[in-house]
Structures are given as C-alpha cells and as structure tokens.
Amino acid sequence: MIAQIIFIIILAAAIYLFAKNAGKIRRNIFLGKDIDRSDRPAERWATMAKVALGQTKMVKRPVAAIMHFFIYVGFIIINLEVMEIMIDGIFGSHRIFSKPLGSLYGLLIGGFEILAVLVLVACVVFLARRNIVRLKRFNGTEMTVWPKSDANYILCIEICLMTAFLSMNAADYKLQLLQYTHYIKAGSFPVSSLIAPLLPDGATSLAVIERVCWWLHIVGILAFLNYLPYSKHFHILLAFPNVYYSNLEPKGEFTNMASVTSEVKAMLDPSFVPESSGEISRFGAKDVTDLTWKNLMEAYTCTECGRCTSVCPANITGKLLSPRKIMMDTRDRITEVGNNIDMHGKDFKDDKTLLDNYITREELWACTTCNACVDACPVNINPLEIITEMRRYVVMEESQAPASLNNMFGNMENNGAPWKYSNADRLNWSQE
C-alpha cells in the first residue's frame, strides 16, 4: 500500500504540473489574433492523416525518416505498456493485461521489446549525426548551447527509458522462470531474454532490479512529460493540431486587411459605409500579439530540425535570414510575454518587441518569399507568414521600405508597372 500511495502522489503531481505548464502555453498561443481555420474540415482531416500521421514530408531525407519512424511508432505503441504500468502502480497488480489479452499479450510485449531496440538504435544514430557527423543543418547562429543540449537531453532520456524497460523485463523474465511470489508467467521476451544472463541469479536481487527499473521507467516517463513544455519536443503534442489547422490556400497568397479593403471600396464607391469594429487596427505585425494564434502555435510546434533553413536560398548564399530562427525567436518572445503576464499582470508592457529586439530588418528583407521553407517543413509550419506580416508593418506603418522597393512602388503608382517606363513606351522594344 505504501508503494501504491507514493505512486499515486507522484502520478497526480506529474499530471497537475504538466496541465499547469501546458495551460500556460495554451494561454500564450491565444494571445495572438483570432483567425478562422474551421473551413473545409474533410480536407483538413486528410491533410493531417497524410502529413502528421503518415509523415509523408519526412521521406525527402530517407535516413532521418526511417529513424524518426522508429521513435514515432515506438512512442505511440509503447504507451499501451505505460498504461499497464500505471494501472499496476495504482492497484498494486502485476501485468494486469496478461489475463484478459491471453496469447495476444505475449505478442504485444515481444513487439514492445523489438520497438524498444529500434528506438535505441534510432537515438544512437541521431546522437551520432548531431555530435560526431555534425550535420550542417543542426548548426547556425540560433543554435546556441540550450537548443543543442535540449536535443541531446531528449535522446539520452529516451535511451535511459528504453534501457530501464528492457532491464525490467529481463529481471521479470528470470523471476517468472523461478516462479517467484506474484511473478506469473506472462509475456514473450525476445530481447530481454538475451539480456537476462547478465543479471544475478538470486531471486531477491532480481526482484530489487525489477522494482528499481520499474520505478525508473515510469517516473522517467512522467518526468519526460513535464520536460516537454520547456523543450522543442512539445511538437509531440502540437504536430497533429498544427497540421490540421494548416493554411489550405495557395502558398504565399497574401491575406487582405479588412481596413484597407474598406478604404478601397470607399474610394471606388462614395456611398459605401465601412463597418467599424471600434478597435484601432495595426497594419502588419510589430510584436507577437499582432500575429495570429496559428502563427504562435507554429512557433511552439517547431522542432528546430533545420530543414527550412537548409533549403532557404537567402541563408545558403550567406545572408542573415534563417527561417528556423524566425520561429525560435517568435517562441522565445511569446514565452517572455507570457512570463511577464504571470509576474506583473496582463496589462504589463515591457520595452521589447519581436521586431528589432529579436528579429532584425536585415533578416526580413533577405527573404525572397520563395516558400522553400514552407514546403520543407515536416509539419506545415509557415515562417513566411510571420516575415510578410512584419514587412507589412515596416512598409505600411513606418514607411521604411528599402530604397529599391520605394522606387518600385513609385513606378507602380506613376506608370502602372514596376519599371520607370510609361505605358505608352512599354512596347518600344518590339519596334526593331
């Protein structure tokens, strides 16, 4: 009973802390402006099934796709084993699913063990790619000590969890052979049975090892759960909704601002009376609260894989822009805004903004709006929307577009084309 009470307390505390921190992230996301993404539900479900569940955009890099698939499937399926462990911890039972599942239980445990080995292999490969091979896309000015350490922490935690799981099963397997107390014969152990000879033969020692590994495995999972809100790996939970709420319009298509549309209609039709919302709208985005909740969800969904930056032509040619940095800066800024609300109240305003304090104008104007970053992202994150909204603010609120753009704007206004020639001279080139 003491062990059960301790487990229930740990489980309740873990769930409470996770819910509290996840609630803060949800609050931060909805600090953004409202946007309707409830249209075309059938297409959204299909997109989520294809991109998030099927991981179709991962296959462009086959090695990473295969290794990630092992971890992805292992994470989903091994949760069934975690469910059994939690029930055993609460009620003091042991392998409670073995009787109702019968022979199927052996297949499940055997499958879990094979998946655990595949997860171990994938984690080792990913650690090698990051720390030995040192792939270029895992580096960059934005990849400071914490982002690199975060990735390594997660991989090491997963290795520890899988090792504890297999060690627990190995001890359990030997205890079953010894018919020790409540260790009933249940399950199939294709991997842990190979590890079992490395363990001591004494029943008492095996029972201690089994219990220690059991606690390390389940408490480690609960600790991992509470680490997620502080990590880029929160995408484990946000990837599916993020893909569901993807922008289904053609890539790069600009949104029309209602206030500008009303002004144009009024110019064309003097009898037109614009609707007034009573709010003073800002053109574009200067800070994170000027972005939509979907932009902020994408910032928390970003896993910093660097695929966007690795295909960005501006970044490839040495310019300052990194689409990954745009998403990381957005996440850092909205987290800072949320922390300010927690400490000082919702009306507190600091002297920082996303523009200039986090993202420089040089980064914004380096973007060619080619949509390569949007196409490369495995979970349909759109850094371009944030870039164009911030550009919109610079141009429409501050009138500080680069000189080359101002020349083009002037030509558009005077000549109806980006060039300095009038309409009458546009076809002169054809006369010869």
SS3 16: helix
**pLDDT in the model for residue 2:** 87
Give the tens place of pLDDT for each residue, 228-258.
999 998 998 999 999 999 999 888 888 888 7
Integer Cα distance of 401 and 365 in angstroms: 9
Which residue type occupies 126?
F
Mean pLDDT for 77-87 is 82
Give the tens place of pLDDT for each residue, 154-208.
999 999 999 999 999 999 999 988 888 878 888 888 999 999 999 998 999 999 9
Integer Cα distance of 338 and 283 in angstroms: 23
- At 223, the pLDDT band (50, 70, 90 cuts) reads very high
CB atoms within 10 A of CB 20: 11
Average pLDDT, the chain: 90
* Tokens 């205890």 found at: 175
Give the tens place of pLDDT for each residue, 329-387.
999 999 999 999 999 988 888 889 999 999 999 999 999 999 999 999 999 999 999 99
> Model-level pTM greater than 0.85?
yes
Mean pLDDT for 388-414 is 88
| Percent of the chain's residues with pLDDT above 70 | 99
Integer Cα distance of 163 and 220 in angstroms: 11
Integer Cα distance of 327 and 235 in angstroms: 13
- At 276, the pLDDT band (50, 70, 90 cuts) reads low
**pLDDT in the model for residue 279:** 59
Q: Is 226 left (phi over 0), alpha (psi -120 to 50) or beta?
A: alpha
CB atoms within 10 A of CB 387: 22
Which has the higher per-residue pLDDT, 228 or 81?
A: 228
pLDDT of 278 > 60? The answer is no
**pLDDT in the model for residue 280:** 58
CB atoms within 10 A of CB 150: 16
Find how far residue 128's CA is from the centre of its chain.
22
* Tokens 């909204």 found at: 389
* Tokens 């297949």 found at: 107
SS3 15: helix
75-84, 85-94, 162-171, 298-307: least confident range = 75-84
Which residue type occupies 92?
G
Q: Are 162 and 119 in contact (CB under 8 A)?
A: yes
User: Interior CA angle at 93 toward 172 and 73, to 5°?
Assistant: 65
pLDDT of 78 > 90? The answer is no
pLDDT of 103 > 90? The answer is no
Per DSSP, helices labelled H in 234-360 are 235-244, 258-268, 293-301, 307-311, 313-316, 323-344, 354-357
| Percent of the chain's residues with pLDDT above 90 | 59
- At 408, the pLDDT band (50, 70, 90 cuts) reads confident
- At 324, the pLDDT band (50, 70, 90 cuts) reads very high
Q: Are 295 and 330 in contact (CB under 8 A)?
A: yes
Beta bridge partners of 355: 359
Integer Cα distance of 112 and 81 in angstroms: 8
What is the DSSP secondary-structure string of 17-62?
A: HHHHHHHHHHHHHTTSBP----S-HHHHHHHIIIIIIS-TTGGGSH
What Rg do the C-alpha atoms of the chain give, in angstroms? 28
